[in-house]
Copies of this chain bind each other. A is one copy, B any other.
Amino acid sequence: MKESLVNLKKTARTLYLLEHTQATISWDQETYMPEAGNEERSEQLALLEGIIHQKLTSPETGRLLAALGADDEKPEGKGDFPDEDKALIREMFRSYRRASRLPESLVTEMARQTGLAHTAWVNARKKADFSLFEENLSRIIELNREKAEKIGYKEHPYDALLDGYEPWMTASQVETVFGPLGEKLSDLVARIKAAGQPDVSFIEKNYPIDLQDSFGRSVIKEIGFPSDRGRLDLAAHPFTTTLGVNDVRITTRYHENLVLSGLFSNIHECGHALYELGVGKNIQGNILASGVSLGIHESQSRFWENMIGRSMPFWERYYPEFQKLFSKQTEGVSLDSFYKAVNQVVPSFIRVEADEVTYGLHIILRFELEKALLSGELEVSSLPGEWNRRTKELLGIVPKDDAEGVLQDVHWSAGLIGYFPTYSLGNLYAAQFMNSMKSDIPDFDSAIRDGRFDKILDWLRGNIHQYGMIYPADELCRRVTGENLNPEYFIDYLESKYDGVYGLRGN
């Protein structure tokens, strides 16, 4: 078994290096590549994808995993190895299983259909007419059903898809947390709606981009983003990508009249990057040296963005500097007014613009609909009506057309079913982690106020980052907090914070 493990590690190392190579040329595509380079770059990416797939699904990999006793029942194998070795076997088995069980014909057909669907979706959205996308979506649901059957699952086909983004989690686990969450959030939103809204007009003024950039860079530097192990560049969409063990890059974009958008996006991506940069020495250089799931990853980005970046202590620290840089724009705006504006809650139709209270409701909507579509309980043709009905229930508003409603997200047209829950799981994990963190760091607020972010980052490294993918998300959660994922922590956090912002106890 030992020799098989050594060889499996070699394969993992090759995959690790190839994936970083892929990440590098993909990063370049999004940042510096001249326009006309796109066609060949896509081919280079596809070629690397093929080489990785071939290496991952080779008979040799299968033999090594079998020799180590890894199977559906015991993905971590049957050897007596340390945790990080078992985890490596487990994750190699998971990847191998997912990749080798999908026939090439299905992969090709999915690529073809998503290509067509994307065009149809763009057009349908432009015309605000779901019927122009309906057939494409039906085909994509069908292919995802087929994909789920091929990969295999125990309870619900959704599980096989979710596992692609939130490894080892099942739909029923998501339901357990989303159930109480939905009710509580809807209730909180209703109470906030009844309260008065803060003045946010100053936020929409013009903020010079070079000043936004220098402010944004100084903030992430102080939080702990290391300039010798990472970069911040401009791209059309903000993202984080790992190019090497000591090379994690983030991107951002600035708009003159959206000063908060650029800033919080910098902090968000910095949170992702710090996670990737914090893996322990024992797993550096192998496939475990990454975030364990998209949900846990999102917990890191949203923790820094919302729980730190939109907190009062944070702005106690930074508002004086912000006000100095943007004196005209913030004239007469007190710290308290600024804080309230940063935390404004308004039910809206568009998920990507949602605040941290309403965000979860957008996700619950999508999760419910995806599950129903996949199981066949919901027909694709009935989707827009169902979308609008549930939006009304959850958020208290109704989209004026399909563009504002069911057609707003790109995900389904790209074939991504089972992805959405991870966004919301991130918030839940983050609040639960923060609760534990606060009992370990009694001066949490003043650490933020004084810019002693290393205290917080050290805690995250010691409790979460260093483990990379060693422990699956649910086990990690129990190790860090002593219990399973529990939405109460997030709800408590929101209740307490937004009472401060909106004075809810009076309502």
Chain A residues engaging chain B, CB cutoff 8 angstroms: 14, 17-18, 20-21, 24-25, 28, 32-37, 39-41, 43-44, 47-48, 51, 226-231, 233, 243-247, 285
Contact = CB atoms under 8 A, between A and B. Distances in A.
A254 B48 CA distance: 36
6 contacts: A17-B40, A21-B48, A34-B228, A34-B230, A36-B246, A51-B51
Number of copies: 2
Given A44-B17, A48-B21, A51-B51, A34 B229 contact: yes
B43 A247 contact: no
Contacts of A36: 226, 228-229, 246-247
Given A14-B47, A25-B25, A246 B20 contact: no
| SS class, residues of chain A in contact with chain B | helix
A48 B228 CA distance: 25
Contacts of A32: 32, 231, 233
Contacts of A14: 47
Nearest to A243: B37
In this complex, which of A28, A39, A48 has the most chain B Cβ atoms within 10 angstroms of its Cβ? A28
B17 A43 contact: yes
B47 A18 contact: yes
Given A28-B28, A40-B285, 10 more contacts: A17-B44, A21-B21, A21-B44, A21-B47, A32-B233, A33-B243, A34-B246, A36-B246, A36-B247, A40-B244
Contacts of A227: 34
Contacts of A37: 229, 243-244, 246-247
A231 B40 CA distance: 16
Contacts of A18: 47
Given A14-B47, A51-B51, A34 B245 contact: no
